[in-house]
Amino acid sequence: MKPTDFSKKLSDYLCLYLPNERGFSRNTICSYRDTFMLFINYMKNIKGICAEKLTLFVITQELIISFLCWLQKERKCSDSTRNARLAAIHSFFRYLQYRSPNNIEEWQKILSIPMKRMETPLINYLSLDGIKLLLAQPRKENAKGCRDLALISLIYDSGARVQELIDLTPSAFNFTKPYTIRLYGKGNKGRIVPLMDAEVDILKEYMNTRHLLESYACNYILFDNGRGDKLTRMAVNKILAKYARLAKKVNNSLIPERVTPHVLRHSKAMHLLQAGVNLVYIRDFLGHTSITTTEVYARADGKLKREALEKAYVETVEKNKNGQPSWMIDSDLLEWLKSL
């Protein structure tokens, strides 16, 4: 069977352009691939056009808009998920402008489809007391509890994204002072993050039980599922949810309704900010490309905003020796005000 122009361009885009020319990470490419798997299934099941007959000619702005509507109405996707799918589609048709310009007018119409405006969600994070309570829940006496304590404490202490965490191997650690860990984030960008002594003690205890400090184990999976496979994102979320439920039973007010790896990442960022760490350093710690992303934490901290306003406040009302504004001791003025 002769491949269609759509299948050829999509294959080149996913297998050659994204990894080789753009240097996208495997996770990003998988996310983009999933978008087009959904689109191909939509074309087959809703539009009646199977994959082997799907060509670039039939793809229009109206078709892409109907696909996005289907994602939200039928698959109940959120606005953020819809925007993520559209970002993948935009990337592909931006690529086609230069690789297949014969229909560039339509490609540009597709590129003009706007992202949906979304409300900026409030940052969900735990207080220091909440973090302490959460970390008190795993039972170190058994192997799974020891692993879970090391996992949860490392997410918080390093501010790692969940994918960065599950990709870790023992070779990422430097256990000579100053202790550090090397994380690889979005776009395979690496960064070195410091680790605290208490966190290193927890990690070493866990890694000793799994023989992960031996030289032969440097490329083994750090956190596995007991069968030698990497933990999945869903598994990490389930582990956190389990201990969050236990912590809520102890003190419901300290633990939010939903605790995810990103909530712990937010928590670390907020605690660094509250400790007076400069936003530039927090940006580098979290692996943000732009400080604009990091500024969301400064906007979210009401206590810091109040303190900043108090420091900037200038006394504008003249007071007498008793601390009262001058108009309070002017009896004629007071009588006139009362008569209004």
Residue 185 has pLDDT above 50, yes or no: yes
Quick one: tokens of 219?
């490329």
| Mean pLDDT estimate for the chain | 86
Residue 323 has pLDDT above 70, yes or no: no
Pairing of strands 173-174, 190-194: unpaired
Element (H, E) at 184: strand 180-184
pLDDT: which is higher, 57 or 122: 57
pLDDT tens for each residue of 58-95: 999 999 999 999 999 999 999 999 999 999 999 999 99
**pLDDT at residue 56 in the model:** 94
For the chain, residues classed under CATH 1.10.150 are: 5-111
| Residue 165 to residues 100, 217, 224, 227, 290, Cα–Cα distance (Å) | 39, 17, 11, 18, 22
Residue 266 has pLDDT above 60, yes or no: yes
Residue 319 has pLDDT above 70, yes or no: no
- Choose which CATH entry (2.40.128, 1.10.150, 2.40.50, 1.10.287) describes domain 5-111: 1.10.150
Which phi and psi angles does 194 have, rounded to 5°?
-75, 150
pLDDT: which is higher, 171 or 309: 171
For the chain, residues classed under CATH 1.10.443.10 are: 128-260
Q: For residue 214, which amino acid is it? A: E
**pLDDT at residue 331 in the model:** 61
pTM of the model: 0.71
CA angle at 172 for the pair 171 and 176, rounded to the nearest 5°: 85
Q: What is the CA radius of gyration of the chain?
A: 27
**What whole-number distance in Å separates Cα of residue 32 and Cα of residue 53?**
21
DSSP string over 140-154: TTSHHHHHHHHHHHH
Which phi and psi angles does 82 have, rounded to 5°?
-60, -45
- Choose which CATH entry (3.50.50.60, 3.40.50.2020, 1.10.443.10, 2.170.140.10) describes domain 128-260: 1.10.443.10
**pLDDT at residue 27 in the model:** 82
Comparing 1-15, 181-195, 310-324, which segment has the lowest mean pLDDT? 310-324
Question: Which residues on neighbouring strands pair with residue 183, listed in sequence order?
Answer: 191
**pLDDT at residue 316 in the model:** 47
**pLDDT at residue 309 in the model:** 46
Average pLDDT over residues 283-289: 85
Average pLDDT over residues 334-338: 59
**pLDDT at residue 290 in the model:** 77
**pLDDT at residue 320 in the model:** 55
pLDDT tens for each residue of 99-116: 988 999 999 999 999 999
Quick one: tokens of 129?
């007391």
**pLDDT at residue 118 in the model:** 76
